[in-house]
Amino acid sequence: MKSIVLDKIKVNNNRVDYFFTPNKNLQKYFNNNNNLFIEYNYELTEIPESILTIPFVSNIIPLIWITNSTIQVNELDKTFYDCLNSLKESYQNMFPNVDFNGEILVGKVVENSYEPKHKVASLFSGGLDAITTFIRVKDKNPLLITEFGWHESEMKKSEVWEADKENAVEFAKNYGLENILVQSNYGNFINARNIDKDFAKRLGDSWWHGLHHSLAIISAAIPLAFKLKVECIYIASSHSVGLEVPCASNPTTDNRIRFASGRVFHDGFELTRQAKTKVVVDYFSNIKETINIRVCFKNEENCCNCEKCLRTILGIVAEGKNPKDFGFNIPDDFSAHVEKFLFDNIKFFTKTNIMFWNIIKQRIKENKNNIPSKLMLEWFLTYDFATERKYSLIKYRVTKFFPILKRRISAKIFRIFESGY
Ligand SMILES: [Zn+2]
């Protein structure tokens, strides 16, 4: 049977290292040194092994399920251990084409409990979803958890993390809150490419998006949620009810995670991204403050030229507000900028992209009278995403196809000449 054994947990001040051994069949799913680490801005003393083991199990367990393997650990928190079966069931329902099996072997299941001191700790990337959740829970004085999981085998300075951290610390300071800062290699210690080669087709999704990211992100926060006695960890939804796509982070999965006396809540699932945009712009307009909404993935600041940046920018415009007040330094020729972006990129739009952009178009139509004229894009109201995509794809294929054909023909002529005909 395929197995992974957690050999050793090493705690050094703020950092925990997990050393493990996958057997031969599973080694290809891990990168070189079989080590997961997490570093916090708090000391890890007095956190029991049964709690520290939770992030390790969380990162590995979906792989155990889909490969029908066993995972072996010395100690594990009882509440967390008990939630694993229902969590497995949720993922099985989400991905019916892959069998979720496997087994967890625990030397000692340990009961842990505490009297909660903090009602909420909220995962905080600084993005639109996270800010919406912050607004919804701010009266509970949430601890703000910000994470960077993309270190390689060693910790190196990352400009992206520095910018994320600075933003989160500044934000917390403004609201008199405290930060939990987490750095890890959880996004890199697994060889996701090899898992995707074997499973992505059957899953209909990638390992990171479909199975891993939510458990990695939430579980990294659990040791500190235990130390600081947090009642509930909030994670902001990225998707919304009625517009569901399979995704590791979902109310049916996240809300089933339990540990010691703590639980997890997937927040804002009832709101569309546009509804969240409204929550955020209304809130900050009312208190007359500007805010940086950080949406550009793995970037130090919003580029204003990727799909997510422009989608958010137009969402803000649709609510009648200026994106410059929300961290988007849009160019003066805004209309031409959006037009050029769509001209260059519409061919890459997926059905989901088109669905999101159409919701924004609809909102611009409804709210037309409240949109400042210099931001109003009249042409956008009749822009037909599906048709434009179709034409753009045809054009793209033709322009790509002819040079290929030309190259092939010249190569053939060259061969004909060479062969003396
Ligand atoms: Zn961007």
pLDDT in tens, 341-392: 999 999 999 888 898 999 999 999 999 999 998 898 899 999 999 999 999 9
Cα(18) to centroid of ligand 1, in Å? Answer: 34
Cα(97) to centroid of ligand 1, in Å? Answer: 34
388 is a domain residue: no
19 is a domain residue: yes
Helix (H, G, I), strand (E, B) or coil at 354: helix
Structure confidence at residue 417 (pLDDT): 57
Cα(91) to centroid of ligand 1, in Å? Answer: 31
How confident is the model over 115-163, as pLDDT tens digits? 999 999 999 999 999 999 999 999 999 999 999 999 998 899 999 999 9
Cα(315) to centroid of ligand 1, in Å? Answer: 14
pLDDT higher at 317 or 403 = 317
Half-sphere exposure of 111 (CA within 13 A, CB side): 0
Question: Percent of the chain, pLDDT > 70?
Answer: 97
272 is a domain residue: no
Cα(182) to centroid of ligand 1, in Å? Answer: 24
Same domain, 376 and 398: no
Cα(152) to centroid of ligand 1, in Å? Answer: 24
Same domain, 306 and 419: no
Token code pair at residue 89? 């069931």
Same domain, 231 and 156: yes
Cα(277) to centroid of ligand 1, in Å? Answer: 17
Same domain, 404 and 320: no
Structure confidence at residue 243 (pLDDT): 65
pLDDT higher at 228 or 391 = 228
Cα(189) to centroid of ligand 1, in Å? Answer: 26
Residue with tokens 């390689």: 152
294-299 long-range contacts, Cβ below 8 Å, gap at least 24? 294/125, 294/126, 294/127, 294/164, 294/167, 294/327, 295/127, 295/128, 298/150, 298/160, 299/160
Over 90: is that where the pLDDT of 308 sits?
yes
* Mean pLDDT rounded to a whole number for the chain: 93
Half-sphere exposure of 160 (CA within 13 A, CB side): 16
Q: For residues 129 and 124, what is the distance between their CA atoms, to the nearest angstrom?
A: 9
Q: For residues 69 and 63, what is the distance between their CA atoms, to the nearest angstrom?
A: 8
Structure confidence at residue 69 (pLDDT): 97
Over 80: is that where the pLDDT of 404 sits?
no
Over 70: is that where the pLDDT of 421 sits?
no
Cα(274) to centroid of ligand 1, in Å? Answer: 18
CA distances from 109 to 22, 224, 247 (A): 22, 20, 30
Same domain, 300 and 341: yes
What global pTM score does this model have?
A: 0.89
Token code pair at residue 348? 């890459």
Q: Would the CA dihedral through 279, 282, 288, 294 be positive or negative? A: positive
Q: What is the DSSP letter of 142?
A: P
Other residues' Cβ atoms within 10 Å of the Cβ of residue 213 = 19
Same domain, 109 and 189: yes
Domain that holds residue 361: 294-383
Same domain, 38 and 159: yes
282 is a domain residue: no
Same domain, 19 and 57: yes
366 is a domain residue: yes
Q: Would you place residue 395 in the very low, low, confident or very high pLDDT band (cuts 50, 70, 90)?
A: confident
As residues whose CB is below 5 A from the ion ligand 1, the structure lists 296, 303, 306, 309
Cβ–Cβ < 8 Å for 321, 311? no
Same domain, 39 and 172: yes
Structure confidence at residue 413 (pLDDT): 66
Instruction: List Cβ neighbours of 358 (8 Å cut-off, separation of 6 or more).
Output: 385
Cβ–Cβ < 8 Å for 102, 68? yes
Q: Name the residue among 69, 88, 86, 82 with its Cα closest to residue 109.
A: 82
In this prediction, residues 286-311 reach a mean pLDDT of 90
Cα(67) to centroid of ligand 1, in Å? Answer: 36
Cβ–Cβ < 8 Å for 230, 121? yes
Over 50: is that where the pLDDT of 211 sits?
yes
66 is a domain residue: yes
Instruction: List Cβ neighbours of 352 (8 Å cut-off, separation of 6 or more).
Output: 245
Over 80: is that where the pLDDT of 242 sits?
no
Cβ–Cβ < 8 Å for 181, 224? no
Q: Would the CA dihedral through 23, 28, 32, 37 be positive or negative? A: negative
Q: Domain ends where: 224, 248, 267?
A: 267
Q: Domain ends where: 215, 250, 267?
A: 267
Same domain, 119 and 57: yes
Q: Name the residue among 20, 105, 100, 107 with its Cα closest to residue 71.
A: 105
Half-sphere exposure of 354 (CA within 13 A, CB side): 14
Q: What is the DSSP letter of 211?
A: I
Cα(266) to centroid of ligand 1, in Å? Answer: 25
274 is a domain residue: no
How confident is the model over 72-118, as pLDDT tens digits? 999 999 999 999 999 999 999 999 999 999 999 999 999 999 999 99
Q: For residues 187 and 314, what is the distance between their CA atoms, to the nearest angstrom?
A: 30
232 is a domain residue: yes
Over 80: is that where the pLDDT of 406 sits?
no
Instruction: List Cβ neighbours of 153 (8 Å cut-off, separation of 6 or more).
Output: 31, 32, 33, 35, 185, 188, 189
Cα(367) to centroid of ligand 1, in Å? Answer: 25
Category of 178 on φ-ψ map: left (φ > 0), alpha (ψ -120 to 50) or beta: beta
Cα(309) to centroid of ligand 1, in Å? Answer: 4
Q: Name the residue among 1, 28, 6 with its Cα closest to residue 19.
A: 6
Cα(311) to centroid of ligand 1, in Å? Answer: 10
Cα(395) to centroid of ligand 1, in Å? Answer: 25
Same domain, 137 and 86: yes
Structure confidence at residue 244 (pLDDT): 64
Q: For residues 212 and 62, what is the distance between their CA atoms, to the nearest angstrom?
A: 7
Cα(358) to centroid of ligand 1, in Å? Answer: 19
Q: For residues 31 and 381, what is the distance between their CA atoms, to the nearest angstrom?
A: 48
Most confident of 3-7, 202-206, 245-249: 3-7
How confident is the model over 13-53, as pLDDT tens digits? 999 999 999 999 999 999 979 999 999 999 998 899 999 99
Q: For residues 102 and 1, what is the distance between their CA atoms, to the nearest angstrom?
A: 10
Same domain, 358 and 402: no
Give how many domains the chain has, as a whole number.
3
Q: Would you place residue 248 in the very low, low, confident or very high pLDDT band (cuts 50, 70, 90)?
A: confident
